[in-house]
Amino acid sequence: MTKVVTVKILTTVNIIKCMEVKIDTREKFHVITIRETKLAANMTAELDECLLPFVEKETKNVVLNLEDIQDMDTAAAEHLLKIRSHFNDQQSSFVMCNLQAAIKDMLEKNELLDRMNVVPTESEAWDIVQMEEIERELLGGD
């Protein structure tokens, strides 16, 4: 029984901790920069807790700046793809930018890069958000 309580406490601490991020709010989107060097499968709950609430906000588009991420496992990358899908389902944009070459190579090797909305710079991510906003307006979306 004590071990279960300890695990619950550790789980609660991990969820409450949430990964270190920097959030910069702009007119049409939030730039979220993950201040970690590794993104692993055991961080998916933290990813959800940090990213998914933005879908409910008035400004619900997110640019995920991954400039500090040096290592990412496949499970975490696949989870980012699920998050992108969730944003799209909610008529929101989810764009990733500033990927390190090793991360880009890993995504390409696992055939994930083409399924993600990835651009080289934050400025280009802003352009994508604007284009998707216009597209949603023309198609009668929110």
Domain contains 13:
no
Domain contains 3:
no
pLDDT in tens, 59-81: 899 999 999 999 999 999 999 99
- Domain encompassing residue 72: 19-138
Domain contains 45:
yes
Give the tokens for residue 56: 């409910």
The predicted model scores a pTM of 0.84
pLDDT in tens, 15-55: 334 578 899 999 999 999 999 999 999 998 889 988 999 99
Please give the tally of structural domains in the chain: 1
Helix axes of 74-89 and 101-109: crossing angle, nearest 10 degrees: 80
Domain contains 106:
yes
CATH, residue 123: 3.30.750.24
Domain contains 12:
no
Domain contains 25:
yes
Domain contains 1:
no
Domain contains 80:
yes
